[in-house]
């Protein structure tokens, strides 16, 4: 499973990249707005930090404008993946950009039917939002499982990216369900390290070693 960081914050990206386990980045207009830097400028900086797919989302809503915006974003760096919303105009933009060889991430996916349309339109990535589905009392992981089955049935190459991840269990369950990518906030990536038995075990190993060699005369 590929790990992406769902942030536009450069400090978080630097920390994550230093661990050597970050395969890419997803941003959205909300995350970019939080950093207060225009998207083109911010994603260029992100591409200098993480060597992997970096999703940059369009903010226009007509297919014509999305296509133009997508072309501009794709020119920023070879690793840019153009993110378009799963609306009618977004699907038109996705097919056009796909035909031009521009990779797209179709976002705001909340149903298997939507995911099927994105695959048919040639999406490089589909982003089902599991946390937001859970928030309304449905099961986000069932959505991932449905998409995995449908894509396998027809041999679609579109990668399934589990988005809107809220904690380590979402990451584990998405991996078990067969999602190709999990995108998560920095906090969740950091939480994946934690296990009390790791801390306890390491503490004991170091104590034992110190005790043994402190006893040996120099
Ligand atoms: C994915 O690409 C989105 O940016 C993100 O996962 C949305 O997550 P949220 O529901 O926590 O805002």
pLDDT tens track for 130-154: 999 999 999 999 999 999 999 999 9
What DSSP string describes 19-43? TT---EEE--HHHHHHHTS-HHHHH
Q: How confident is the model at residue 85 (pLDDT cuts 50, 70, 90)?
A: very high
What would the two tokens of residue 81 be? 């993946």
Q: What is the pLDDT of residues 36-61, one digit of tens each?
A: 999 999 999 999 999 999 999 999 99
Which residues have C-beta within 8 Å of that of residue 163, sequence separation ≥ 6?
Answer: 6, 26, 107, 127, 128, 129, 130, 131, 183
Ligand 1 pocket check for 127: Cβ under 6 Å: yes
Q: How confident is the model at residue 79 (pLDDT cuts 50, 70, 90)?
A: very high
9-to-16, 143, 186, 216 alpha-carbon distances in Å:
11, 29, 9, 50
Q: 31 alpha carbon to ligand 1 midpoint, in Å? A: 9
d(CA 171, CA 143): 14
Q: In this structure, which residue's CA is closest to atom 12 in ligand 1?
A: 164
Ligand 1 pocket check for 114: Cβ under 6 Å: no
Q: State the average pLDDT for the chain.
A: 97
What's the pLDDT at 218?
Answer: 58
What's the pLDDT at 214?
Answer: 81
d(CA 37, CA 31): 10
d(CA 160, CA 135): 20
Higher-confidence residue: 80 or 217?
A: 80
Query: Whole domain around residue 60: which residue ranges?
Result: 2-214
Q: What is the CATH number of the domain that holds 134?
A: 3.20.20.70
Q: For the CA atoms of 47, 53, 57, 58, what is the dihedral angle to 10 degrees?
A: 90
Ligand 1 pocket check for 7: Cβ under 6 Å: no
Q: 83 alpha carbon to ligand 1 midpoint, in Å? A: 12
Q: In this structure, which residue's CA is closest to atom 11 in ligand 1?
A: 164
Residues annotated as part of the active site: 83
d(CA 135, CA 119): 25
Residue 161 near residue 179 (C-beta atoms within 8 A): yes
CA 28 to ligand 1: nearest atom: 4
Mean pLDDT across the stretch 77-95? Answer: 98
CA 166 to ligand 1: nearest atom: 11
What's the pLDDT at 216?
Answer: 58
Assess whether pLDDT exceeds 90 at residue 100: yes
Total domains in the chain come to: 1
Tell me, rounded to whole angstroms, the distance of Cα 153 from its chain centroid: 24
- Picking from 69, 68, 83, the residue whose alpha carbon sits closest to that of residue 4 is 83
In b/e form, how buried is each residue of 9-48, taking b as 16+ CB within 10 angstroms? beebbeebbeeeebbbbbbbeebbeebeeebeebbeebbe
Ligand 1 pocket check for 105: Cβ under 6 Å: no
DSSP 157: -
């Amino acid at each position: 499973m590929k790990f992406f960081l769902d942030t536009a914050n450069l400090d978080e990206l630097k920390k994550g990249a230093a661990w050597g386990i970050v395969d890419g980045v997803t941003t959205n207009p909300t995350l970019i707005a939080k950093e207060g830097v225009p998207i083109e400028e911010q994603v260029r900086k992100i591409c200098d930090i993480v060597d992997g797919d970096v999703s940059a989302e369009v903010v226009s809503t007509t297919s014509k404008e999305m296509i133009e915006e997508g072309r501009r974003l794709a020119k920023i760096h070879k690793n840019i993946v153009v993110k378009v919303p799963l609306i009618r105009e977004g699907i038109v933009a996705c097919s056009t950009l796909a035909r031009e060889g521009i990779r797209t991430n179709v976002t705001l996916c909340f149903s298997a039917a939507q995911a099927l349309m994105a695959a048919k339109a040639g999406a490089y990535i589909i982003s089902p939002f599991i946390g937001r589905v859970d928030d309304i009392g449905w099961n986000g992981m069932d959505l991932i499982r449905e998409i995995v089955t449908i894509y396998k049935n027809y041999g679609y190459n579109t990668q399934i990216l589990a988005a809107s991840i809220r904690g380590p269990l979402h990451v584990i369950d998405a991996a078990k369900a067969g999602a190709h990518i999990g995108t998560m906030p920095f906090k969740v990536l950091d939480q994946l390290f934690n296990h009390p038995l790791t801390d306890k075990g390491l503490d004991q190993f170091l104590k034992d070693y110190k005790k043994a060699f402190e006893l040996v005369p120099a």
